[in-house]
Amino acid sequence: MLKAGQAAPMFVLPDADMESIDIAQFHGKNNVVLFFYPRDDTPGCTLEATDFSDHEDEFTRHDCTVIGISRDECIKHAEFRDKHGISVRLLSDSEGVACKQYGVWQAKEVDGVKRHGIVRSTFVIDKQGVLRFALYGVNAKGHALEVLRVVKELNS
Catalytic residues: 45
Q: Which amino acid belongs to residue 24?
A: A
Alpha-carbon span 41 to 130, nearest angstrom: 31
Question: What angle do the packed helices 43-54 and 74-84 form, to 10 degrees?
Answer: 70
Is 77 exposed, middle or buried (CB count within 10 Å of its CB: 0-12, 13-18, 19+)?
buried
In the chain, where do the E strands start and end? Answer: 12-14, 20-22, 31-36, 64-70, 89-92, 105-110, 113-118, 121-125, 131-136
